[in-house]
């Protein structure tokens, strides 16, 4: 496989809790990869390591030929990789539109900003146009002037996607984009992600909803206790011995129901 994203032998512990163990993973350009696993298996931690929010103890991460494991999160965004969060928190004093515009990476110098030069005005116009377009695509235009903190949980997830897309990423990593989202909004998210992928974006999605996984993903990677135990097509999950073991081993836990739905 020609890897767009390559994770090599990544390890991470929090105190005595070894959360990721020798994780290696390759993702090709254009894939939609579902990252699955029981609660606490390390999915969000892996996303945090890849996107620079948590430093790994060991291992390398390469994105489109660039080593990114030592870069800060804001520098990683500039390489073309963006992410959303499981529980997006929104500022209470900013409108939806202002939050979207603030996520723009089209920056200019301090003097430009201070003097509000032609360059600064141009950057602001571009950010506004892009924010308007993305808010429309993700059905948030009717709430664009509301305080972002007043949005529903599902709408905050959509705004999280808008903010990530403001950076014009080539790869987007999403942490549980449909958790707690109403079925109508869920459908909108599915449609939006499929459209982004059709336009060339590579997607990595942490998700427990197996219907969503089967509908959207081209491949699934399964983590169990910090190790990758399977990489297969969504329709092969239910017959994969290691996957069954991962979920049945957690039979007493609620997340098992996710695989039962497969
Ligand atoms: N910042 C942190 N400090 C200490 N422990 C952490 C931290 N972040 C994660 N952990 C621990 O790492 C383990 C894996 O957590 P993580 O959130 O990566 O799992 P997950 O697979 O995303 O779980 P879920 O499906 O429930 O969201 C858990 O035991 C968690 O408590």
47-106 tens-digit pLDDT: 999 999 999 999 999 999 999 999 999 999 999 999 998 877 788 889 999 999 988 865
More confident residue, 105 or 142: 142
* CB-ligand 1 contact for 39 (6 Å cutoff): yes
Kindly give the distance from the C-alpha atom of residue 153 to the centroid of ligand 1, in angstroms, as a whole number. 21
Predicted pLDDT at 91: 81
* CB-ligand 1 contact for 14 (6 Å cutoff): yes
* CB-ligand 1 contact for 180 (6 Å cutoff): no
Structure-token match 């987007």, residue found:
172
Evaluate whether ipTM surpasses 0.95: yes
CA nearest ligand 1 atom 30, residue: 40
CA nearest ligand 1 atom 10, residue: 14
- Rounded to two decimals, the pTM is 0.87
Tokens representing 145 are 């002037």
Predicted pLDDT at 113: 57
Domain 3-89+168-260 has CATH 3.30.70.3190: no
Least confident of 1-10, 59-68, 110-119, 206-215: 110-119
Compute φ and ψ for 254, nearest 5 degrees: -60, -30
* CB-ligand 1 contact for 226 (6 Å cutoff): no
Kindly give the distance from the C-alpha atom of residue 40 to the centroid of ligand 1, in angstroms, as a whole number. 5
CA nearest ligand 1 atom 26, residue: 39
Tell me how far apart the alpha carbons of residues 88 and 176 are, in angstroms, rounded to a whole number.
11
DSSP letter for each residue of 66-93 = EE-TTS-HHHHHHTTEEE--SS----TT
* CB-ligand 1 contact for 48 (6 Å cutoff): no
* Domain positions in the chain: 3-89+168-260, 91-150
* CB-ligand 1 contact for 19 (6 Å cutoff): yes
Please report which confidence band the pLDDT of residue 40 belongs to, taking 50, 70 and 90 as the band edges: very high
Q: Which atom of ligand 1 is nearest to the CA of 47?
A: 18
Segment 100-112, tens digit of pLDDT: 998 886 555 555 5
Tell me how far apart the alpha carbons of residues 76 and 5 are, in angstroms, rounded to a whole number.
12
Question: Quick one: average pLDDT of 20-38?
Answer: 96
Q: Is the pLDDT of residue 252 over 60?
A: no
Q: Which residues make Cβ contacts (< 8 Å) with residue 159, sequence separation at least 6?
A: 88, 90, 96, 99, 100, 138, 140, 148, 151
Residue to probe by mutation, ligand 1, list 45, 49, 86, most atoms within 8 Å of CB: 45
Predicted pLDDT at 225: 95
CA nearest ligand 1 atom 28, residue: 40
């Amino acid at each position: 496989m020609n890897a767009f994203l390559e994770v090599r032998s990544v390890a991470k512990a929090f105190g005595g809790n070894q959360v990721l163990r020798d994780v290696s993973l390759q993702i090709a350009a254009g894939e939609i990869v579902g990252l699955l696993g029981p609660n606490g298996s390390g999915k969000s931690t892996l996303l945090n390591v890849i996107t620079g929010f948590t430093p790994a103890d060991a291992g390398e991460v390469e994105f489109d030929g660039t080593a990114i494991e030592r870069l800060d999160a804001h520098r990683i965004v500039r390489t073309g990789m963006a992410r959303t969060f499981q529980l997006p928190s929104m500022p209470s004093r900013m409108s939806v539109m202002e939050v979207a515009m603030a996520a723009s990476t089209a920056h200019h110098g301090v003097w430009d900003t201070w003097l509000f030069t032609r360059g600064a005005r141009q950057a602001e116009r571009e950010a506004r146009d892009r924010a308007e377009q993305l808010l429309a695509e993700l059905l948030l235009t009717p709430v664009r002037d509301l305080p972002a903190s007043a949005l529903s949980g599902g709408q905050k997830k959509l705004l999280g996607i808008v903010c990530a897309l403001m950076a014009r990423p080539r790869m987007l990593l999403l942490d549980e984009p449909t958790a707690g989202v109403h079925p109508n909004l869920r459908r909108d998210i599915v449609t939006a992600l499929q459209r982004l992928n059709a336009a060339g974006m590579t997607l990595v999605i942490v998700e427990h909803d197996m219907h969503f996984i089967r509908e959207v993903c081209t491949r699934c990677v399964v983590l169990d206790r910090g190790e990758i135990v399977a990489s297969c097509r969504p329709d092969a999950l239910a017959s994969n011995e290691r996957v069954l073991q991962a979920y049945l081993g957690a039979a007493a836990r609620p997340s098992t129901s996710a695989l039962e739905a497969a």
